Amino acid sequence: MSIQQQAQQLLDEATSSLPGLGLQFCAFQDGKCVASAFSGDAAFDGSKKVDEHTLFPIYSTSKSVPATALVRLVNQGKVSLDQPVTDFWSEFGKNGKENTRVLHLLNHTSGVPQRLREQTSYEAIADWDTMIHAIENVACDWTPGTKTRYQSLSYGWLTAELIQRITGTSFIDYIKAELGFDKNSDFIFGLDDETEKRTSDFKLANEKKKSSSFSKCDPLDDLMKNDLIRRMVQPGFNGFASAYGLAVFLNDVVNCKFFDREHLELATSTGFRPEKGAPVCNNTMFGLGYAICGPVDDPGLFFGHGGYGGTEVTANRNTGTVCAFTTNILDGAEDVKAKLYALMGMKQRDGWERP
């Protein structure tokens, strides 16, 4: 069977065994799409089926976009990794953040908290200025660049605001003009009435205890069901995409459409190597915004990003193979995802994991 046929069979088997499950998988090799498979339901009442262009909430898989935008700006000489953030964003430089470098925002070493005390309502979270002022005034938790902790929610505000300060344009206008988001209707920030119609329902595989976090961002599944959050632009966690849209985007990245090979290798190197015992996210290291992993002699062989619940897009930097996976039952389809990745030669190896 072809790769397309094998992928379709794996998806059909998974959705037939779990009622309501909706899945997509897309893979590129040598710059060409070799599989775009989909199966199952986009609505849990059976009224809507998944198709190639159904949109799914992708959570932190979104982070690959501002990462790409900033690496492009570095490649163009418009910003340096060692440059102080305050060169562009003067209000950021207070409460221990004065010496934060651009690199520290990209590789999750800034010490800026993941969640902010001001996130008391969905209205506050959706108000860009409110969140930016909160970030400007917050104290970092350590000297920037000395430790790493995944900036799970703050990353999107940090990177997008920096991009806006550097370019003088809005983040969404920048990625439309520079990263092709005016043409990729399968990767969306800020849903509208028409794209809402294409979006899948979603739920947790197993009901979890509600988080006791002080932030209204938690629980994350409730967050992404709120209309204000769905319609805002926050590239750290609120993207919606199909597997095809994700794969098209990362295929452009790995084939150096946005920056040259030298900067691709720089972006997928270990910009920060955690000390033994330091807190990291699921044993994943970070390059320039991308989650990276691989063998000891090539720790950035695989790069991309995954998101809450299982959505993921990953590329093999050396072969150019790209895989993307979406699901509407969060944390409910890891087995089939592993089989699909293995089909494309991205099977996990001992001692390291995919991003």
Rounded distance between C-alpha atoms, residue 53 and residue 260, angstroms = 30
- Cβ-count burial 248-281 (b if 16+ within 10 Å, e if not): bbbbbbbbeebbeeebbebbbbebbebeeeeebb
Q: Give which of 323, 251, 233 is closest to 68, Cα–Cα.
A: 251
Rounded distance between C-alpha atoms, residue 286 and residue 274, angstroms = 10
Positive or negative torsion for Cα 241, 243, 249, 253: positive
Q: How many CB atoms lie within 10 A of CB 227?
A: 11
Q: Give which of 157, 172, 274 is closest to 217, Cα–Cα.
A: 157
Residue 298 has what pLDDT? 84
- Reduced to 3 states, what is the DSSP secondary structure of residue 246? helix
Residue 278 has what pLDDT? 47
CB 65 within 8 A of CB 238: no
- Partnered with residue 69 across adjacent β-strands are none
Q: What's the pLDDT tens digit per position in 125-156?
A: 999 999 999 999 999 999 999 888 899 999 99
Residue 183 has what pLDDT? 81
DSSP 224: T
Domains of the chain: 3-343 (3.40.710.10)
Does residue 184 come out as left (phi exceeding 0), alpha (psi in the -120 to 50 range) or beta? beta
Rounded distance between C-alpha atoms, residue 337 and residue 339, angstroms = 5
Kindly give, in sequence order, each residue whose CB lies less than 8 Å from that of residue 274, ignoring residues fewer than 6 positions away: 147, 148, 280, 285
Q: What is the DSSP string of 108-177?
A: T-S---SS-TT--SHHHHH-HHHHHHHHHHSPPSS-TTS-----TTHHHHHHHHHHHHHHSS-HHHHHHH
User: Rounded to whole angstroms, what are the CA distances from 256 to 88, 264, 338?
Assistant: 27, 7, 27
- Partnered with residue 303 across adjacent β-strands are 292, 315
List per-block mean pLDDT (blocks of 10 residues) for the chain, which spans 355 residues: 97 96 98 98 96 97 98 98 97 97 95 95 97 98 91 96 98 97 91 96 81 82 95 96 98 98 92 50 75 84 94 95 97 94 80 52
Backbone angles phi, psi at 39, to 5 degrees: -165, 150
CB 221 within 8 A of CB 203: yes
Quickly tell me which residue has 């389809």 as its tokens.
Answer: 333
Rounded distance between C-alpha atoms, residue 64 and residue 276, angstroms = 26
Give the H or E element holding residue 25. Answer: strand 22-29
Rounded distance between C-alpha atoms, residue 203 and residue 285, angstroms = 28
Kindly give, in sequence order, each residue whose CB lies less than 8 Å from that of residue 26, ignoring residues fewer than 6 positions away: 33, 35, 36, 37, 242, 243, 244, 246, 247, 322, 323, 324
Residue 243 has what pLDDT? 98
